[in-house]
Structure 1
Amino acid sequence: MANPVIAEKLASFNIEDFQPIVKRDLDLGAPLVPKAGNLVKVVTGMRRSGKSYRLFQEMERLHQSGISWNRICYFNFEDDRLGSITSSVGDEVLETFFAAHPEALREGSYLFFDELQEMHGWGAWLRRVVDSVKATIYVSGSSSKMLSSEIATEFRGRALDFELLPYSFREFVRSYNVIDSGRIGIGNRTGDDYSLEERLALQQAMKDYLTIGGFPAVQGLPIPQRIALLQSYAQRVVLRDVVERHNIARPRVASALARRALGSNGKQLSLRKVENDLRSVGLSTSRELLGDLLGYFEDAYLLFRVRELSMSLSERTTSLPKIYAIDPGLAAAVSSAATREDGQRLEEAVYLELRRRNIGLRRDGIASFHTREHAYEIDFVVGDALESETYELYQVTASMDDEMTVKRETRALWEMMSERDLNEGIIIVGDGAERDYEHNGSVIHQIPAWKWFLRG
């Protein structure tokens, strides 16, 4: 007899219950024709960043292309009614679905497994399904239990992983078109011909985005509820994805470091100083533990570390990495009011957008850089030394409202462009007009933040 919980979950699933589905820009590629041995497409990211809805989007796409719903199976393994989830639960999901829809077994099925990491031994089970079932398979999972390194180990070149971050600014605008169609009418626009009304609306939307952030569930919430929900997200990652998973014996140290790191959003973080500060308030720790915790936070997508670029493969930098939170709204909610600087959150949002636009770059593909002559800092240098790519240079600033600011923000770009024989740089400005600066045949493009983000 079929497990009644499994049967009920399969029978009751209706895509209409999850409408509206905000279109996400993460491209999963063309759907594969169902067959045994197919590549598995795995969507990873921090909890509550919208992985399930990205699967729903793909399911809608399949249905609109002519695939019957009877050939599409969706199952979420994060359900306490299932008890301890083993491979036998997964087997029963497939048996129940194929019993109800035998045509899916004959013609080939499209299987969507949500939060599969809840299954003990998920890798071995999924490999068996891949080898034995005529199917196209999509999987989502919490990044802390389904890391890119673990996917590579489990599938040895038979899976593609896709990183989903919270809403980009483009998706943020699009979500409000869905929620409130009267607010901004250009969520899917690609041109630059904006009216004055649209420009003013988008400038305000950019400010809202840096405060609210891109987690789908917080959109439209009153401020106290939004802050409380975002704080609970951070706490859940620390406690469940770090402390519990890695058996951390000092959970208070982990929580304190997370608050400190997120409060350092857009800045360098000295573990030596953190260690001394924690010891001064009675929390015994070590730099080794703090370093391990930062790595666990990064694995769980709570934050990212950006290191200084080495222009030569033989060079090693000893500078401290800069910390960027997973989302500007989460950083604002967790940090104290004194550290909520617009410039830092804009810089963080730019980093996250560069990460979205440069899928597949190596670890240091997005880095900071200091020029050799005057040690001026470039916020972001994007490129791959091993691929001999031309580097893209980005400065980020809240405003360009006077000549001193212009000089300060452009001098690092001019110096690096001269040192590295580059002829183009970009300044992304929170509050400022679009303009170009030219010097000795090189050009720096100044672009308002809202416009740069929307260009995608």
Structure 2
Amino acid sequence: MIDKKILFEEVILDNLEIAKKAKVINRDIEIKLIPNKIKVIYGVRRGGKTYFLFQIINKHFKDDFIYINFEDERLINIALDELNELLKIALSIKNTKNLFFDEIQSVDNWDKFVRRLNDSGFNIFITGSSSKLLSKEIATSLRGRNLKTEILPLNFKEFLKFKNFNVKKRYSTIEKAELLKYLNEFIKFGGFPEITLIDDENIKKEILKEYLDGIFYRDVVERHSIRNIKEIKVLRNILINLFANEISIKKIANLLKEFNTKISRECIYNYLEYFSDAYLIFLLNNFSYKTKTISYSKLYVIDGMWNFSLSFSKNKGRILENLVFLELRRRGFVENENLFYVKRKNYEVDFLIFGENKELIQVCYELNETNKEREIKAYEKAIKDLKLDNVNLKIITYNDEGFEKITVDDKEHLIEIVPFWKWSLTY
């Protein structure tokens, strides 16, 4: 049996070597480096959290750091009392106050260890692949001690940076054609960093499937000790097929019956929460001024998972809507806090930003006279119904642009029609 001290030394040296040699393309994400705060970086598995740590290291710490990845197979099942020995060995190799702990939520009671190090004056960065698992400890042990940064896959601007495409205000005909080529790729596969750097579409899809399985088995099944894997896998596939659609527990239960699968309503609620915690899905509520139980939500999925929808090839409009949702998330809007959709009996608006500056957003892949009239009528009804005197109006398309004017109760409103690529690049 290998000596634990020798094993820990190998892990630390290997991890340091990986961090030093990593080739990093910087993300357009900033983090505040306040020394006495624990910097918490969280988001979907394979979304770029580790390389964001390397970006911080390269920019601010050079050779003055310790980096430990707790998903290293040699650290599986490491106990809390072994963390002290691991750190002691690490500090004997590199005497530093800057500690980077990757996927530390894998260790039971990690928060107590991190809190003690923070109290001892260490400058700590941690990552995790679960929004709720991390936030549970943060809300108790780490309250007031942390700064949180959410990492999602690349936005379109970052995607173009990874493609070495120069973003600017105006483009030649050839540049515009290249831009739209990249947009088509982004629409098809999303912005997971590793996939962005691969050209072969079959390999892209294979890796996306590996990501889906990793999220499903590691961040849902294993994390929550689920035994009925077959049932929850059926549910997972149903949810992916419902991306950018309105859902209800009743609707999901009926679809499960079609696949000869029965899951109680309570379990469906729990499983939806597990998938949401793991960033596989996002649930957006229908806006209402009244406080009441939400029975319907719209469902969105993380980048590229629409590839595993049975009707993927027919769903460009839904994919574009899903991408708009994810971009709004990246801009700091939070579903069901200041981001909603609006649906009433006679109209629907895809997104409502309800904050200091209110905005209604429709997503329409390609405008024609019929759907343009429908989208505009929805705005007229929403403005009246929700009593929105001052509101920005946008229709986001694949490549159509222009302006339309409407008058509601003697007040004129301007609707901006903007291509997704232009909207996403001008933020």
The reply to whether TM is greater than 0.5 is: yes
Cα deviations across residues 396-429 of structure 1 (Å, max 9, x unaligned)? 11011x3222212222123323442134301111
Distance 2:268 2:313 in 1: 22
Cα deviations across residues 94-113 of structure 1 (Å, max 9, x unaligned)? 322322344x3xxxx21111
Equivalent position of 1:173 in the other structure: 160
In the alignment, is the contact (CA less than 8 A) between 1:115 and 1:140 conserved in 2?
yes
Q: Residue 320 in 1 paired to residue 296 in 2?
A: yes
Distance 2:99 2:273 in 1: 32
Distance 2:260 2:370 in 1: 45
Give the counterpart of 2:107 among 119, 123, 142. 119
**Shift, 1:250, TM fit:** 1.8
Q: Residue 450 in 1 paired to residue 417 in 2?
A: no
CA RMSD for the aligned pairs?
Answer: 2.2
Letter paired with 1:203:
L
Other structure's SS at 1:305 match: strand
Letter paired with 2:317:
G
- Count of aligned positions: 416
Equivalent position of 2:321 in the other structure: 347
Structure 2, unmatched stretches of 5+, are none
Distance 1:111 1:289 in 2: 39
In the alignment, is the contact (CA less than 8 A) between 2:44 and 2:279 conserved in 1?
yes
Equivalent position of 1:256 in the other structure: 234
Equivalent position of 1:335 in the other structure: 309
Distance 1:75 1:143 in 2: 18
Residue correspondence of structure 1 range 124-135 to structure 2 within 5 A: 124-132=112-120, 134-135=121-122
In the alignment, is the contact (CA less than 8 A) between 2:394 and 2:417 conserved in 1?
yes
Q: Residue 430 in 1 paired to residue 398 in 2?
A: yes
Distance 1:2 1:275 in 2: 50
In the alignment, is the contact (CA less than 8 A) between 2:357 and 2:391 conserved in 1?
no
Cα deviations across residues 193-237 of structure 1 (Å, max 9, x unaligned)? 333332222222111101121112222152222222212222222
Letter paired with 1:90:
L
Distance 1:319 1:282 in 2: 24
In the alignment, is the contact (CA less than 8 A) between 1:147 and 1:299 conserved in 2?
no
Identity of aligned residues (%): 32
Distance 1:325 1:455 in 2: 24
> TM-score, normalized by length of structure 1?
0.85
Letter paired with 2:257:
R
Equivalent position of 2:45 in the other structure: 47
Structure 1, unmatched stretches of 5+, are 178-183
In the alignment, is the contact (CA less than 8 A) between 1:112 and 1:139 conserved in 2?
yes
Other structure's SS at 2:364 match: strand
Distance 2:404 2:76 in 1: 62
In the alignment, is the contact (CA less than 8 A) between 2:70 and 2:76 conserved in 1?
no
Change (3 A) 1:76 1:254: same
In the alignment, is the contact (CA less than 8 A) between 2:358 and 2:392 conserved in 1?
no
In the alignment, is the contact (CA less than 8 A) between 1:117 and 1:145 conserved in 2?
no
Change (3 A) 1:147 1:340: farther
Give the counterpart of 1:421 among 368, 371, 389. 389
**Shift, 1:289, TM fit:** 1.2
Give the counterpart of 1:228 among 196, 203, 206. 206
Change (3 A) 1:86 1:398: same
Equivalent position of 2:191 in the other structure: 214
Distance 1:273 1:445 in 2: 35
Give the counterpart of 2:377 among 408, 411, 419. 411
